[in-house]
Chain A
């Protein structure tokens, strides 16, 4: 390789890196703005803030309306996480090592809700639940979020199961364990971290989802993003930045937990 080519390659490499970091910075910048403005003192959102205080954090924790929205978000997030993990894990398990028609048809069908605009799903579910007279807001939003989170769990588990040694399952059955006991004693211990990661992802998806939650909310039950939206309509206070900062923090925490779990499994494999 000539020297000119080598230099050219280096320049291209540097440009690519610079472009990559620039893009990353542009994406991250709004999050930084949100964090910084959440610590401001003034009544109106300004960037950069003139003075800093924890005033809006104090106000957040004093607000019954916000705290009940947090509780609603957690209840719905946990519900959607449990339901979609159960559906996604068992669904993925069902199509493993199978060449039946069902195994070919199921993955695209499961993917479908992700491809539909949430507005459509939200509206459809609103009409549907009104028709059948089903009025529990918690359950309706859990169902809506499960529709969205299940495909994610399903495809995470597809890749987890792809690395699973299916001889272990055969060995378990061969030694007298029925399928349910094979799942509990043999399969689950070997894919546990994948299941936990799926559940965390599903929880975060539910926590962040806004459009379907907006359609399906009621006077008593509304999630944090929905309340943020309605309070934004009346005034643009730094309280919304506080709420956004919490949402980002929870997501980052979830990612860290997942990463730690994966590392633990990786570590265990190395030992």
Chain B
């Protein structure tokens, strides 16, 4: 158990900057997810934490000790690899006992402790198997047991679930959470899957271009994204261009590409008439009802025709056209209202649910909702 501090961490490969001045604190016993698209530097960051890469600049502290220049075998961190990296020439039990063997623990004791770890991950029946005979999910459990067996201060997980199919992945996410609660070790989990991050994490750190964009509890990050990148990355949403026409006491009024003016509560953010904004209309915040030909009640709604219906398993996505722009909303299959292509609907929203972003991608206002 230990806290982790990364300060101003950089990693360059020739001309390529993989990690660009990253600072992050992970609390003792916390499960932190580093979330980001591929190539954002999250795996490199994790490998620097484990000592498998040497930072070009910056410091790594684990449990208050500077470990920046310590090789991996002197750090008490342990990594679960994306490929699981089980030793193919050793049995499952020997794999799990390997770290203890390197620590000089005697054979009887290390085998006993390895068996206990296999119990924790529910793989006790496979001790004498070859890792090459196991399924993906089983390998993943063994890799986890092997890493936990050395009782690391920090457990590092490098997308260990990404090679599993969806059902197994969701099951393992829950189990990983339970195991985390059980062993009370600090976990740093890297993933590109936002659902995985939301399911697992105490806090999420969202990375982009080698930097942390935002760190916070899942709910906090979702409700209050600091940038357009995060808003786009965390889920499908309707992004609509808008131009500020006037500023009011509570925010701005903007002329949107949907052909309607929308009031946006940006607070006292520095926005002037004429500024270009990108406004996010989240599909789950939109209210939709059949329009009876009447004009919209001014402001927070549009009227349009449904142009496309997409069945996505348990939900249905409807595209509505207004002034040449499309916005979509979703309903669960079996909801009582059932729209069809050609129907005219009124889509309305609560202005407080709109999120506005400036041309450079930063959030305008916010911090309130």
Contacts and interface: CB of A to CB of B under 8 A. Distances in A.
Contacts of A165: 83, 85
Contacts of B78: 174-175
B85 A175 contact: no
A176 interface: yes
B342 to A, nearest CB: 53
B79 interface: yes
B87 A168 contact: yes
A177 interface: yes
A198 B49 CA distance: 37
Interface string B148-171: 001000000000000000000000
Interface string B78-106: 11010101111100000000110011000
B299 interface: no
A181 B87 contact: no
A168 B98 CA distance: 12
B102 A171 contact: no
A167 B85 CA distance: 6
Contacts of A178: 73
A123 interface: no
Point out which of B52, B71, B87, B150 has the most chain A C-beta atoms below 10 A from its C-beta: B87
A173 B89 contact: no
B91 to A, nearest CB: 13
A173 B99 contact: no
A175 B77 CA distance: 8
A170 interface: yes
A176 B73 contact: yes
Q: Is the interface of B mostly helix, strand, loop or mixed?
A: loop
A171 B150 contact: no
A261 to B, nearest CB: 15
Given A186-B87, A190-B89, A174 B102 contact: no
Nearest to B13: A99
Contacts of B225: none
B225 to A, nearest CB: 34
How extensive is the interface on chain B, given as a class?
A: 20 to 34
Contacts of B79: 170-171, 174
A175 B146 CA distance: 8
A48 interface: no
B72 interface: yes
Contacts, number: 61
B304 interface: no
A174 B88 contact: no
A165 B82 CA distance: 12
Contacts of A175: 73, 78, 98-99, 102, 146-147, 150
Contacts of B87: 168, 171-172, 186, 189
A176 B150 contact: yes
A181 B71 CA distance: 14
A186 B88 CA distance: 9
A189 B83 CA distance: 19
B72 to A, nearest CB: 4
A171 B85 contact: yes
A200 to B, nearest CB: 21
Given A175-B98, A177-B73, A190 B88 contact: yes
Given A181-B102, A189-B89, A174 B50 contact: yes
A81 B186 CA distance: 50
B247 to A, nearest CB: 54
Contact of A171 (B71, B81, B89): B81
B62 to A, nearest CB: 14
Interface string B45-81: 0000011100000000000000000011100011101
Given A173-B73, A177-B98, A185-B98, 16 more contacts: A167-B81, A170-B52, A171-B86, A173-B52, A173-B71, A173-B72, A174-B50, A174-B51, A174-B72, A174-B78, A175-B78, A175-B98, A175-B150, A176-B99, A186-B87, A189-B89
9 contacts: A99-B14, A168-B88, A172-B87, A174-B73, A175-B78, A175-B102, A176-B150, A181-B102, A185-B102
